[in-house]
Structure 1
């Protein structure tokens, strides 16, 4: 008896102890405000992940690495993955034996010896029909699905960073072009005011140019809001405060290069092999198969074997035996099996539906990228034509063949084409990002480089 109590106490001393970890919102906010892209821990992380030092100018790739360090969505996904690994360990654990200490007391005891019966009894459960391997297979498939979801979250964060990065690029360069457009429109208004006073033009001509100036000023005001919003989106995608972006310089050079779109067959194969959501759906289907296997195994009852010692009125008794076994006379788990079979069919249909949607998304993104790249090339030709017209106006103005108003109008026309060209380049890069998202794999850049800085400054 004493040995039994000592054995039970030794088992309990190996249990884990609960340790509370309260959260303080004020302290969390303070830690967030202190985040920086110059953090030494971030430097170590980037050097380990990329093999490159902390950059002086940050491109989209390096910002995505910083998001992998700071973004809380990835931390949540990683925590879920750790929980799934814990579930896998739980599924592989064998059932614990049961230790009991029955006690009986005989009220009308008259014979010699003690009037009670007591002693430890150990019952050891044994799972049958492969329940434990089926349970492990189910937990493994579920862990694989969570791991794929983690990869999908990482890709989603990368996509969000790059989308916000492109938005900052467009808003920054658009702001420069719109500022030049406002300057030229204001000059045109001033020239027309002087001509109106001289009687050389009518009031409608001035009003039309004033409307152009008002529209340009309104667009520049909207652009400032768009730039602030894009910077906030970029900071949120990275997981840092907006003020952290003030201390860094962004490198938009990679946006000058279109991507090399893969051949249709290669793109379809890459989408099927690399899409994390499709791989997660396949893992869910395998989990459904393992769940069906487990439900089928539940038709067969588990058994328990036991051994015990009993002190009975002075007699020492040792017992061995087979515990109770449930007889499957009325219920052979047919309901659970039917539900698992239906769930497996549902998961198979989900995989098929998702794959069809992925392939259609891929076809659509391929067409969109091809057309948007052609549109960007056409916009480049139109900008070049507008540039030649502006240069001709400047040359004519220098020789006295054109006045300042004609020069301003040529410059305004060039600014409009420059903004249209910038939007076309942004649309092309958005389409390239959509194509990458369709296969969830980075695409190599083209050697061709586009002009990202169409100058609009006044001479």
Structure 2
């Protein structure tokens, strides 16, 4: 549509000034580029300098009740170490950054389509009858997007952002699991070292006694050699246990986000298998329901499916064209020309059939994946619960065997002191008790591992309220404050 209107001469300079003013107004909202190059030495130095004594970390831990009172000293138990890990572990920063990326996607999805500004400029050689040689104008291209299309795009971005926020909680749970697993391994390795040391002391005493008897001809060399081989095996086992102690401390330091030397300066309170809750009091159906409600992958899969529903709706909305209008004004050799054009995309060759088919197929794929995920969770929960209950039963039996061996060793001690048993019988009884103690240590290690596996499968704390989610919420608030402060600091750095 083109409308011509004869009017007084409009100098091209006025249009140029108006255009310049529009560009200046738009330019005031531009942001300036700030380079932030990665410096390998600097980042390495920052990682190496991380410490459990950092004031910011201690302030964060006090805000979450560790220590409970200002006058108390901080006990580095499981909860304290998990708090430190949630604050320092680099995986948490990655998860927060990925969530920020999805939040930025929400802003992008909500943006409306900017209008285009065309400035036609021509100079004519024909200037008869006093006409101006210039033709200059302003023509806008305005796109009016369908409301349903924009709403679907915004909803999809919001759901993806919500899934990324749940992913932050999932990473926090994984960090907590890494700390607990490393602590359990450290407790097992230390207990195993102590138990092996006690067994070695008994076998060494037995070796000395057997050696004296063999010298006196009271015992065959075979018995002495068999005891010597047992002693060597135990010493090798002790060396392996000490290596496992170091490895467990290194894994614990990595889970927290510090170097192993920073961990060597604190005393760690290790978990006790005797304090674990009785999972047999929870029916298997309730455990499965808990997992299907609490697991982060279930919740993320639901949000991912809802986001795909929005994506399908967006492709269907694209079947209907947007409205493109092009109003403008042109000064054409003394004529004022007002014009209004319009344009549509004609669906001659396709109308988004391929995109719609892909979106529907992706939705069916997510449906199948969700059912598969649910089935896998149910199976893993049942297996983890059965394993935990079996390990508890084994631990009870090991406790009973240890108590029986201790009673027998005490009985032989009294008989030895009364002269009714010789020293070798007494040492044999002590060795049996030490072996029963080692079996109890191994059963507790398996019980700790089974308990951790059950909690990881449920993604829920069995012996306390879910404090991890509250800690993550606080970290998110602090990250929001830091981003807001950074944005405020750059407000004065925009281009004029």
TM-score by length of 1: 0.93
Partner of 1:74 in structure 2?
Answer: 92
Alignment of 1:357-376 (within 5 A): 357-376=376-395
Deviations 1:204-244 (A, max 9, x none): 01001001100100100111111111111111111111112
Work out which of the residue numbers 324, 333, 342 in structure 2 matches 1:313.
333
Partner of 1:398: 417
Task: Give SS of 1:122's match.
Answer: strand
Match of 2:302?
282
Looking at structure 2, the residues matched to 91 and 427 of structure 1 have their Cα atoms a distance apart, in angstroms, of: 50
Within 2, Cα distance between the matches of 1:111 and 1:212? 120
Q: 2:205 aligns with which of 187, 198, 204?
A: 187
What does residue range 198-217 of structure 1 map to in structure 2 within 5 Å?
198-217=216-235
Contact 1:98 1:123 in 2 (8 A): yes
8 Å contact kept, 1:56–1:249: no
CA distance in 1, matches of 2:120, 2:223: 106
* In 2, Cα distance between equivalents of 1:290 and 1:51: 44
1:245 Cα deviation (Å)?
A: 1.7
Contact kept, 8 Å, 2:184 with 2:271, in 1: the verdict is no
Check whether the contact 1:59–1:254 (CA below 8 A) recurs between aligned residues. Answer: no
1:311, distance to aligned residue in structure 2 (A)? 1.1
**What corresponds to 1:424 in structure 2?**
443
CA deviations over 1:387-426 (Å, ceiling 9, x no partner):
1111112222222333332222222211211111111112
Match of 1:263 among 259, 262, 283: 283
**Distance between the aligned counterparts of 1:393 and 1:246, measured in 2?**
42
* Counterpart among 244, 249, 258 of residue 240 in structure 1: 258
Task: Classify 1:52/1:434 alpha carbon distance in 2 versus 1 (closer, same or farther; 3 Å).
Answer: same
Change (3 A) 1:184 1:222: same
Secondary structure of 1:172's match?
Answer: helix
- Number of residue equivalences: 444
Q: Name the counterpart of 1:349.
A: 368
CA contact (8 A) 2:76 2:266 kept: yes
1:438 equivalenced with 2:495 (yes/no): no
Greater relative contact order, per chain length (Cα 8 Å cut-off, separation 6+): 2
> Are residues 1:273 and 2:288 paired?
no
- Structure 2 CA distance for aligned equivalents of residues 411 and 20 of structure 1: 70
C-alpha distance in structure 1 between counterparts of 2:200 and 2:173, whole Å: 40
Q: 1:307/1:335 Cα in 2 relative to 1: closer, same or farther (>3 Å)?
A: same
Greater shift after overlay, 202-211 or 145-154?
145-154
Q: Which residue does the alignment assign to 1:6?
A: 21
Secondary structure class of the residue paired with 1:250: coil
- Residue 331 of structure 2 aligns to a residue in which SS? strand
> For residue 24 of structure 1, what is the aligned residue in structure 2?
39
Q: Look up the match of 1:38.
A: 53
